[in-house]
Amino acid sequence: MMGKKNKFITLNQMSDLTSSVLYKTGYPLQWNGLIQAVPIEDIIEIDFGIEWRWGEINQAGNELVMAALYPKRREIILNVSCRELFKQKFGTKLFSLAHELGHWVLHAEDITGMQMSLFEGDVFYCRSNLERSPIEYQADLFAGCLLMPEAIVRPLMEELNAKTMLTWQELYNIADGFQVSISALTTRLQQLNLLYIDSNKGLHRSKEEAIGQQTLF
């Protein structure tokens, strides 16, 4: 039922769900010292049988819509007017694709007959607005968990923290490896309690570590 599909999914449940997706694709879920970007384009087309392409998206008002999922057509459209934006903001394209796949897995996978109406005329949009609905947060969470698997991220960060003090350059290198934006990476690390960024953009392993350092001065 639609209501069941739209129930809230916790971070741990989402990690398990996306790990299952990756396991079926053959993506290695063990840290071997080398970051391997998740082949989201192939996963969408080969494993889920969904076509993705560039195209125009009809949208109301001035709100920017970067991508849309059309479940009836098993199709994801990337807004052609966002080509330059995707080029300028590294990782945005792949995250948008993963976000729309999240809508398919979480909200539309078992509704191919379309006997009940979906949101906004049977279309799921990936918007740029700051006010996001619960299902949009869930699709974002799916995308982050899928593109940056906990089974890889956690041992990677533990290994890095054991060797040296964490730097922004190292974080950018990690983001490049996963082919995501630095914002997506830091959000994911903070979700997993592997990173804390203070008000001065200082990096810490945890909030507790940051507070402990402050008490020394």
pLDDT tens digits for range 154-193 = 999 999 988 878 899 999 999 999 999 999 999 999 999 9
Domains of the chain: residue spans and CATH: 2-148 (no CATH), 151-214 (1.10.10)
Pairing between strand 75-79 and 51-55? parallel
Closest to 64 in 3D by CA, of 83, 87, 50, 45 = 83
Portion of the chain with pLDDT greater than 70, in percent: 82
Distance between CA atoms of 19 and 156, rounded to whole angstroms? 16
Q: Torsion over CA of 185, 188, 194 and 200, rounded to 10 degrees?
A: 60
pLDDT in tens, 128-139: 554 567 888 999
Please state the rounded mean pLDDT for residues 205-213. Answer: 82
**Ramachandran angles phi, psi of 53, nearest 5°:** -160, 170
pLDDT in tens, 35-62: 999 999 999 999 999 999 999 987 656 7
